Structure 1
Amino acid sequence: MEEKKKILLLCGGKFAFKAIQLLAVEKYLFGIGIGEGSEIIVDALERECENNDIPFQSFSNRKSISEMRTWINSIQPDYIFSISFPFLIPDDVLAYGAEKFINFHPGPLPQYRGVMPIFEVLKNQEKETAICAHFMNSKFDEGNIIFNDPISIDKDETYGKLAVKLSSRVAQVALNVANMLQFASKIPSSIQDETESYYYEKPQLSDTYINWKKMEASEIIALINACNPWNTGADASFLGEQIKIISASLIHEGHNNAMPGTILQLAEDNTINVACSDNQQIAIEIMSTDEGIMTAKQIMANRNLTGNIFN
C-alpha cells in the first residue's frame, strides 16, 4: 500500500477542528500549527496532539512566524494545508516548495477575499457561498485557484449556522484535496480574475451599524443575521443607549410611511415591530441592552416605547 502523503495543517481555531479530525482518521495528518487562538483552544489542541504523537506548534503572534520554516523542515511534510490561519506566510517559508501550500478559504474567490467572508456574503444577501481551495502566495487569498466548492445559503441563515455548515464542508474538501494529491503529483489550477476581485477588511462599527434611513428591511435582517453571534447582533442606538439587535424577522406589511426606525407596536406574538425605509417592517425578537440580553416582551414590560425611534 502506498504511503500516505504527509500533511501539516495550519489553523486559527475550532473552525478547523472537523478537518483535523478527518485528516487524522485518514492518516494524512503529520503536524498542527495554530495561530493566535484562545488559551483554552490552544491547550486542548496541544494535549490532543501529545496524546496522538502529532507534532504541535503555537504561533501566537506575527513575530513567531520566523520559527515556522525551521519547524516545517523538522517535519518534512509533503504539503501544508491552511484553514483560517490568521497570519500571512512569508516568502522564506513559502520557499519550502512550489505549490506545497494550499489554503481553504470560507468564501468564493476572487470575489470575497478577506478575513470574514461569512459575514460579507450574509450581509450582501448572497444565495450561495463556497469553500475555495487555492495555492498560497505572499498575498492574502490571491494564489491560483484549484476549485470553488459551492454551498447554498439557507433563508435567514445566521453567521453561526453558516460557520458550522462551512466547518463541516471544509473538512470534506480538505480530505478530497488530500486524496487528489495522494494519486496525482500535480493539481491543475487557474489564475484569479482580478477584474472580479474584492478584498473586504475586517468589519468595523460602521459595517455592523443599522442605518434606518438608508437600509431596506431585507438589508437590516441580513445584517442582523450576519452579526449573530460573533458581534452579538447588529448595532443600533435607542434613547441614548447603544444596543444590539440579535434576532428579527421580516414583516411583509406597510406602515403608512412612518419615520424609519419608529417603533410601531408590541405585536401579539411579542415582537417589537419597527418601520423601515422601504415602507416595510421588521419584527425584533431579541436584543442586547445594558440590562442584558432580553426578549422584546421583557423590554416592553412596564414601559410604553411605541412611537420612539431607533437611531
Structure 2
Amino acid sequence: MRIVFMGTPDFAVPSLQYLLEEKLNVVGVVTQPDRPKGRKKIFTPTPVKVEALNHHIPVLQPEKMKAPEAIQLLKQLQPDLIITAAFGQILPKEVLELPRLGCINVHASLLPKYRGGAPIHHAIKNGETITGVTIMYMAEGLDTGDMISKIEVPILENDNTGTMFGKLSIAGAELLKETLPKLVQGNIQPVAQNHEEATFASNIKREDELINWKKSSKDIFNHIRALNPFPGSYTLWNGKVLKVWESLNPSDIYSKPVNHKDDISPGTVIQMTTDGIEVRTGNGTIWLTQIQPAGKKRMDVGQFSKGSAIPEGTQFGR
C-alpha cells in the first residue's frame, strides 16, 4: 500500500511518526511551503517537512494543491491512500478521487462540532470541557465527510491551546494506529455527520485576538488561554499593544483581594502587585499574571513590576 501523508504543524508529526515506526510505505509527504518566521524573517521548514526529510521521504510543497502541476506530481506518487492532519489546504475533487482507498483526515475536534482550521482555539475559547479527535473520509466540503472513528480528550482548566495541541496530536496518532488496519481490511462502518449540529472554527484573525473587557471574567480567562501560545491575546495600553499571555482562573482567586466597586468601567486597572494586575471586567475582576509590553519579551507581572508600573485607574483598550 502506497501512502501519501499531508500535514504541516507539530500537531501532524506524531501521526506521521506512527506511519514511519510501523514501517508503512509512505511514498511522499505534502506540506505547506517554507514561511518566514521571527523578527529576522528567516524561511523555516514546517515540522512535518523536517520529520519527512529526517527519514529521506520526498517532500512536495505546493502553494496551492489545486494547481495542475501539484496534482500531476501527486499522481506520479500513485497513492493508494492519502492521510491528512492539519495540512492547511482544501483538497480539490481530483485529488480526493485519486487514491483507491480514499482520503482520510485526522481532525482535532469531535465532529460535527468545530469544523475548520482552528478547532482547538475555539473549543477552549468557548469553555468546552471535552474535545477530541475525529478521523473521517474527506469530502469536497469543509470537514463534512463521513466519520470513521473518534476519541474524546478532556480540557482541564489549566490547559491552553499549546497543551491541548500536544494532547490531541498524541491522541490523533493513537486513533490512527487503531483505525488504519480496520480501514485497510474494509472493517469499518462510516457514519454520516448531522450537518444541522455543525459548528465552525475559522482561522483566528487579528480582530479575534483583542480582549473585550465587557465580557465576563471567565470568558476573558478562556479567551487568553485559547490564544496561548499563539497568536496571543492583546489589549491596548496608552495606544500601544500589550500582549496578555496568562491570567488566573476566576474560580481560583478566593485568596486574592477583589475590589467590588461598581462605578468603574470594564478594562480599568484596580491594582497592580507582584502577583498580577487586577482588571475590571463585565462581571467582576480578573488577574493578569503574564504580559508582554510592546517591543519587549513576555514576562511575569512580578518581573515587569521591578521596573515599571501600571497605575490604578489606567484604562486598557485605548
TM-score, normalising length: structure 1: 0.88
Give structure 2 stretches of 5+ with no counterpart.
36-43
The question of whether the paired residues in 2 share the 8 Å contact of 1:114 and 1:200 is answered with yes
Write out aligned runs for 1:1-311 (5 A).
5-31=1-27, 32-38=29-35, 39-41=44-46, 44-50=50-56, 54=57, 56-62=58-64, 65-97=67-99, 100-182=102-184, 184-213=185-214, 215-231=215-231, 233-249=232-248, 250=250, 251-252=253-254, 253=258, 255-257=260-262, 258-267=264-273, 269-279=274-284, 281-292=285-296, 293-300=298-305, 301-303=307-309, 305-311=311-317
Stretches (4+) displaced over 6 A: none
Report the CA distance shift for 1:13/1:67 in structure 2 as closer, same or farther (over 3 A).
farther
Q: Tell me, what secondary structure is at the counterpart of 2:55?
A: helix
Distance 1:45 1:298 in 2: 37
1:30/1:77 contact within 8 Å kept: no
What root-mean-square deviation, in Å, do the aligned CA atoms of Structure 1 and Structure 2 show? 2.2
CA contact (8 A) 2:65 2:89 kept: no
* C-alpha distance in structure 2 between counterparts of 1:164 and 1:65, whole Å: 32
Give the SS at the match of 2:112.
Answer: coil
2:234/2:241 contact within 8 Å kept: yes
Return the letter of the residue paired with 1:131. Answer: V
**Cα gap change, 1:211 to 1:13, in 2 (>3 Å):** closer
TM-score norm. by structure 2 comes to 0.86
CA distance in 2, matches of 1:275, 1:102: 46
Give the 3 Å change call, closer, same or farther, for CA 65–9 of structure 1 in structure 2.
Answer: farther
- Contact 2:81/2:100 (CA < 8 Å) preserved in 1? no
Q: Provide the C-alpha distance between the structure 2 equivalents of 1:141 and 1:263, rounded to a whole number of angstroms.
A: 42
Q: Distance in 1 between matches of 2:230 and 2:172?
A: 20
Secondary structure at 1:80's aligned position in 2?
Answer: strand
Give me the whole-angstrom Cα distance separating, in 2, the residues matched to 1:175 and 1:6: 16
Could you report, residue by residue, the CA deviation over 1:260-309 in whole angstroms, capped at 9, with x for unpaired residues? Answer: 22211123x52111121112x21111111114123323444454511212
> Contact 1:36–1:86 (CA<8 Å) still a contact in 2?
no
Deviation at 1:99, TM superposition (A): 5.2
Q: Is the 8 A contact 1:132 1:149 kept in 2?
A: yes
What letter matches 1:35 in structure 2? Q
Structure 1: gaps of 5 or more residues: none
8 A Cα contact 2:150 2:175, kept in partner:
no
Q: Are the counterparts in 2 of residues 132 and 146 from structure 1 also a CA contact under 8 Å?
A: yes
Report if the CA contact (8 A) 1:68-1:93 is conserved: no
- Cα distance change of structure 1 residues 304 and 84 upon mapping to structure 2, 3 Å threshold: closer
Give the aligned length.
298
Quote the Cα distance in structure 2 between the aligned partners of 1:85 and 1:308: 43
Write the distance in 1 (CA, Å) between the matches of 2:60 and 2:278.
48
User: In 2, Cα distance between the equivalents of 1:105 and 1:75?
Assistant: 24
